[in-house]
Amino acid sequence: MQARDRVASMVDPVAQEARRFYDGGTLPVDGRPGEPPDPGADPRIVLERHAEEGVETFALERRLAYRDRLLGELVVPDDPDFRTDLTSVPALFTWLVPKTGAHLPAALLHDALVAGPDGPSSYVSTEGRVVDRVSADRVFRDAMADTGTGVVRRWIVWTAVTVATVFVGREVPWSRSRQWSYRFAAATTIVAILYLGYSATSDLVDRSWVGAVDLPWMGERAWWVEVAGGLSGAIVVPLALSLLWGRLRMAGAIAGVMLAVLLHVTVGLAVIAATYVAVERLARRAPLAALVLAGLVVAAAFATFAVVSLG
């Protein structure tokens, strides 16, 4: 039992403590005093939807309180004008990390802790702590554990926000040289994996694409051996590149492996999404042309079906 507990603590060092989240009360409104945080009450997430210039955001009607293991009590937001887009995930990846779910309280907390592109952070630390972006990312990861979010998902999400922190560069505790070293490591990892993925695809389909190189872990072998070699390379190469990341090597390893393994899935989803957007715009701006295009696609489908089925 002790051995299993030691292994569990290595994989998942933060034990779930749901009561660290609680009701944060309300902000003062129109001269009326707000309600103070209540550690004995469950958190209440009450959202008001806003749609400005086609962008959907939400305001928190009630505040959210969280007692962090290192920073103490944090209450968000600190401004009634605070807006959040819930979990900040690109549409292509909502199948992996949805906009809402068990992790939502942690996502709202993180949104308020970090300064957005259009405004400052919005939180109160009852112990007077200043929360920089790196600390906010760590709080996010721990808070997801307290909400019961799965281990894999929260480390993926933490990696995503850490990479964003590396490139955003605001409110970080690093020296300028260290920050640029992280940026160099991230950029090198991304470029290397994209290029090797391009070369691997060229090798797999047995085509000599412009600029592609032969990869020793694939080569002229049976297709299933090449696929196995490509998958192994999608793990080994990013792990090697993660050594460039220094103290952020865990984020580098996760980001690299995720990018390499999901590269083709992401490209496929991007093509589908782009096609949908193009068709949607065509249907809105030129409905007759969209109808003609739909007819041509259906006719081509019938013709192809008949040729393939009848030989």
Q: Hey, is 56 helix, strand or coil?
A: strand
pLDDT of 296 strictly over 80: yes
- Residue of 120, 123, 115, 159 lying closest to 141 (CA atoms): 159
Strands (E) in the chain, as ranges, are 21-23, 47-52, 55-60, 64-68, 72-76, 124-125
The pLDDT of residue 229 is: 94
Beta bridge partners of 125: 74
Residues 112, 85 contacting (CB under 8 angstroms): no
Phi, psi torsion values for 110, nearest 5 degrees: -65, -40
- Give the rounded percent of residues in the chain with a pLDDT score beyond 70: 94
Q: Tokens 């290029």: give the residue.
A: 195
Confidence (pLDDT) at 93: 85
- pLDDT greater than 50 at residue 6: no
User: Which pLDDT tens digit goes with each residue over 123-173?
Assistant: 999 999 999 999 999 999 999 999 999 999 999 999 999 999 999 867 889
pLDDT digits (tens, 9 = 90+) for 10-32: 456 788 999 999 999 999 887 78
pLDDT tens profile 163-201: 999 998 678 899 999 999 999 999 999 999 999 999 999
Over 60: is that where the pLDDT of 274 sits? yes
Q: What pLDDT score does 66 carry?
A: 98
Q: Are 127 and 118 in contact (CB under 8 A)?
A: no
pLDDT number for residue 11 = 54
3-state secondary structure of 74: strand
pLDDT (average), residues 74-92 = 90
d(CA 303, CA 311): 12
Residue 228 CA to residue 166 CA, distance in Å, equals 32
How many residues in total does the chain contain?
Answer: 311
| pLDDT at site 246 | 95
Is pLDDT above 80 for 5? no
Contact assessment for residue 253 and residue 242, using Cβ atoms and an 8 Å cutoff: yes
The four Cα atoms 221, 223, 227, 229 give a dihedral, to 10 degrees, of -10
187: CB partners within 8 A, 6+ apart: none
